[in-house]
Amino acid sequence: MAKTTARITVNGEDTPIAPAAPHTTTLDFLRERGLTGTKEGCAEGECGACSVLVARPGVNKPTDWVAVNACLVPVAALDGQEIVTSEGLAAQGAPGTPPTLHPVQQEMAVRGGSQCGYCTPGFICSMAAEYYRPDRCAHPDGDGGTDPEHGPNGFDLHALSGNLCRCTGYRPIRDAAFAVGEPDEDDPLARRREQAPPEPAATDYSLDGSTFVRPASLAETLRLLRERPEAVVVAGSTDWGVEVNLRGRRADCVVAVDRLPELRELRVTDDHIEIGAALTLTEIERRLDGTVPLLDELFPQFASRLIRNSATLGGNLGTGSPIGDSPPVLLALEASVVLAGADGERVVPLAEYFTGYRQSVRRPGELIRSVRIPLPLSPVTAFYKIAKRRFDDISSVAVAFALDIEDGVVRKARIGLGGVAATPIRALDTEADLQGRPWTAETAEAAARVLRGEGTPMDDHRASSLYRSAMLGQSLLKLYAQTQTTEAVSS
């Protein structure tokens, strides 16, 4: 049986996690308890039918209601935490009377936002997270401005980017999102934002030979990993959750690092920005608030808001995938990773971190503690992700640029590439070709020819080698064209 009494608050009710196995997803845990509004569609974080709300540390208030994919998160990872499902959003009436619909549910109902209803609870939860976002505010002219992805009520449609609907059509769902107002003063979930979320529980939950552990500190985590180097380390579980669901992977020991305070710091000094490896991408985006423009270009193209609410930079780098979206950007920013082990810490430039396909210099027992970005930042930056879909897709090619251009001359160039080799790489030959040359159409065209040959572009089901090579060259020509447009507008 369980070593500790792991519990979770679901729709206000204290609920034991046992007898769920440590690998059990939050989705399965909820459905086994009759909360069947939470659905399984894809089991890999693509469709959003499983989304639920979790109380997390807030940016503008003590608590934010954050939507996450219940199909990916192990329920043991929510030990001591507080969640709300689509059933919990409605206000319960007197015995024998139906509940009062939540404002989001009401708008979806009256505007025809549900047809078969399978995806509706997930949309409701994602929409509710945006409804309760503290800095959401109505546009002053009342029409949402010129951005079609934001409503007159300040609703950001990207909040729904991880939710799919195959029968209703998105127009009535968008209408419902753009119609919701502000939460009432007596709204219990709105009031809940004024109180701090539950502190992360130190967890040691075992059942049937498997263990889920959340250590209380980084030092304790590193001691555990030295003793059990085979343990699987998870943060947002957006990668491991897919392995569990679709490949039937199981682990004797899973170690969660997502709530470790030492991995959740964000500091800006005179010479660098340090981002904790366990901060979610949404937290980084909102806390940096435009400080790093190249990261701002990355975030909307990195999966969906549902995934970004759980995914971390540490996880994206830790998997070592050659098609991860953050490595090209961090390579262009000349980032380093701070690796922590039981014997101390070391700083490794990201350009030296990857050693082979899903391999790195990280030693057994080491963790990525943080990502360090040097300052000042290059003023000319761009991130281009070539994929079959505009959002929420795996890239065929990803290219990040960071250039210093002074008096019309390229003084410094850093280019990160993804999807064109066994690892993310720097385009060193193209960087050398650009540096010291005038930023002209001729220079861009010559450097584009060099860039087409960087890496070893491969053929696979996402793109051919010739296509990848062409997109590499085209990306530099696009950057040059955009800089000329910007200069023309500013002048």
Domain presence at residue 117? yes
Residues 180, 88 share a domain = yes
What pLDDT sits at residue 388? 87
Domain check: are 62 and 172 in the same one?
yes
φ/ψ region of 466 (left if φ > 0, alpha if ψ in -120 to 50, else beta) reads alpha
Please spell the DSSP secondary structure of 349-399, one letter per residue. EGGGTEEETTEESPPTT-EEEEEEEESSPPSEEEEEEE-SSSSSS--SEEE
Point out the residues of the chain with pLDDT beneath 50.
Answer: 1-3
Do 395 and 329 sit in the same domain of this protein? no
| Domain span at 308 | 261-374
Smallest CA-to-CA distance from 53 within 93, 9, 112, 15 is with 9
Beta strands at 367-374 and 63-69: parallel, antiparallel or unpaired: unpaired
Q: Based on the fold, state whether residues 149 and 30 are members of the same structural domain.
A: yes
Q: Number of folded domains in the chain?
A: 3
- CATH code of the domain in which 265 resides: 3.30.465.10
Closest residue by Cα to residue 49 from 76, 95, 86: 86
Domain membership of residue 237 (yes or no) is: no
Number of neighbouring beta carbons within 10 Å of residue 140: 8
Same domain, yes or no: 138 and 13: yes
**Residue 471 in domain:** yes
Of 199, 224, 242, the residue that ends a domain is 199
Going by their DSSP bridges, the two strands 51-57 and 82-84 should be labelled as: antiparallel
Nearest to 279 by CA among 315, 248, 226, 249: 315
Q: What is the dihedral sign for C-alpha 383, 384, 389, 393?
A: negative
Last residue of a domain, one of 305, 339, 374: 374
Extended beta strands in 73-209, E state = 82-84, 203-207
Burial category of 259 from C-beta neighbours within 10 Å (exposed 0-12, middle 13-18, buried 19 and up): buried
**What CATH number is given to the structural domain containing 420?**
3.30.390.50
In the block, which residue shows the tokens 């209803």? Answer: 117
Q: Residue 142 has what pLDDT?
A: 55
pLDDT tens digit sequence for 133-165: 999 987 665 555 557 889 999 999 999 999 999
Same domain, 365 and 393: no
Question: Could you tell me which residues come within 8 angstroms of residue 276 by beta carbon, excluding any fewer than 6 positions away?
Answer: 262, 263, 264, 265, 266, 314, 369, 370
CA distance 24 to 27: 8
Q: What is the DSSP letter of 85?
A: -
Residue labelled with tokens 């399965």: 28
Same domain, 335 and 476: no
Asked if residue 407 and residue 341 are part of one domain, the reply reads no
Q: Provide the CATH number for the domain around residue 59.
A: 3.10.20.30
Distance CA 67, CA 70 (A): 9
Amino acid at residue number 257: V
Q: Looking at the domain assignment, is residue 230 inside a domain?
A: no
**CA-based torsion, 126, 132, 133, 138: positive or negative:** positive
Q: How far apart, in Å, are the Cα atoms of 402 and each of 222, 277, 298, 399? A: 35, 22, 13, 10
Q: Is 412 inside a domain boundary?
A: yes
Last residue of a domain, one of 160, 177, 199: 199
Q: 19 and 163 in one domain?
A: yes
- Same domain? For 142 and 21 the reply is yes
Q: Distance between the two ends of the chain, CA-based, in angstroms?
A: 71
Give me 220's structure tokens.
Answer: 């304790």
- Contact of 368 with 339, CB cutoff 8 Å: yes
- Looking at the structure, tell me whether residues 361 and 385 fall in a common domain: no
Is residue 227 a part of any domain in this protein? no
Residues 79 and 167 in one domain: yes
**Tokens (6 digits) for 195:** 């109180």
Residue 424 lies inside a defined structural domain of this protein: yes
| pTM for this prediction | 0.94
238 in a domain, yes or no? no
